[in-house]
Amino acid sequence: MALKGWYPDPGGKNGHFRYWDGAAWSAVTSTNPAAPPPSVQEEKRPADKHERGWLIALLILLVVTALAMVVIFSGALAPARGTATEDSNSSRPTVSGWDETSTPTPSTPPPPTKGGGELVTCPYTAHRQTTRQPNGQLRADTLTVDRISGWKDETLWLEFTYDLHTQYKTIYTANGGHSWMSNIAVGLMHNDDGFVEIYNSAEQAMQCFASSEYYDHFTNRVDLISEQIYISGHAAWRIRAEIHVASPYFPQVDGDVTDIIVVDLGPDKDYLGFFMSCYTIGDDEIAALVDQAITTLRVE
C-alpha cells in the first residue's frame, strides 16, 4: 500500500496533488506537495454556491457546443469501426530530456550528473497485470529477483509502472506515522507510456522515482553509474544515483542510494522489465543485502 502523503493528482490535473491517507484519496487538492494533510473540515466543506453556478454554466456551454458540432459535421463520413483514436490518457512524457529518438553509444555512457530538486511530469499508466509470485522470488512477467530474507512484502504504488512487486525493511520511524524504508522491487513499463528504449526509459524512471513518485523533500540527485549491462543475455541499462533529501522527519538521513535497471525482455514484448532498489546512504549492512539481490536479477 502506498505511503500516506501528497501524490500527483490521479485525475491528471497538472500541477495539483491529492492526499492518500492509506485507504482513500482526499476530495481536495493542493499545489504544494509539502502541505500538511487536509483537515476533516476541508474534506467535508460544502461546495460554494458560486462554484455550483460556474459548473452549471460550464455544463450548459458544453451541451451547446456538442450540439453545434453535431450540426456542423452531420454530413461528414463517420469513421469505420475499429479506427484508432487518440489516447486521452495524459501519460506521454513531457520533459524535454525524454527523447526516444536517440540512444547513447553503450561504450561511451553519459557522465555522472548532478541534478536539482525540480519535479518532473511522469507517465500515468493505464495498464494492469498481476504475475503470480513464486516462493523466494519477486517476479513481473519473466523478470525475477530473489527475495531478501526477513524483509516484508509491500504494495508500493508507482504510477508509471504496473505489475509491481516489492519488499521493504523499515529503517527509521517518526511521529505522525512517517517511515524511512529500504526497498527492492520488480515491475513492468509499457511502450504505450513512452518506455521504448532502455537508456531513455531508465533515465525517465529515475527522474520520476526521485522527484515525484517516492521521495518527499527531494533536493538533488548525483549519478554514480550509468551503463549498459546484460541480464540473462538481455540488454539492460542501469543507473545508480544518490537521491538527496532534506526531511524534517528524518534529519539524520542524507538520502538513499537508488538503482534503476530497465531490461529489454524480448522482441515479442510491448513492455520493458523494471527493477528498483534503494537503501540509506552510508548503511553498509543493507547495501550488502541489496547488492547481493541485484546479482540474482534474471530473465526466465
C-alpha–C-alpha distance, residues 183 and 152, integer Å: 9
Contact 43, 26 (CB under 8 A): yes
For residue 293, the number of C-alpha atoms closer than 13 Å in the C-beta half-sphere is: 32
Residue type, 109: P
Interacting residues of 126 by C-beta distance below 8 A, sequence separation 6+? 89, 91
Report yes or no: 198 and 272 within 8 Å, Cβ to Cβ: yes
Q: Are 135 and 149 in contact (CB under 8 A)?
A: no
3-state secondary structure of 240: strand
**DSSP element (H, E) containing 41:** helix 40-44
What span, in angstroms and rounded, lies between the C-alpha atoms of 298 and 134?
14
Domain 115-299 fold is Protein Transport Mog1p; Chain A (3.40.1000)
Domain ranges of the chain: 5-44, 115-299
pTM above 0.85, yes or no: no
Round to whole Å and give the CA distance between 13 and 140.
30
What is the spatial distance between Cα 107 and Cα 109, in angstroms, rounded to a whole number? 6
Q: What is the pLDDT of residue 224?
A: 96
pLDDT tens per residue across all 300 residues of the chain: 456 777 777 766 667 777 777 777 777 787 777 778 877 555 554 444 444 555 566 667 666 666 656 555 544 433 333 333 333 333 333 333 343 333 443 434 444 444 455 566 788 899 999 999 999 999 999 999 999 999 999 888 888 999 999 999 999 999 988 999 999 999 999 999 999 999 999 999 998 888 765 788 889 999 999 999 999 999 999 999 999 999 999 999 999 999 999 999 999 999 999 999 999 999 999 999 999 999 999 999
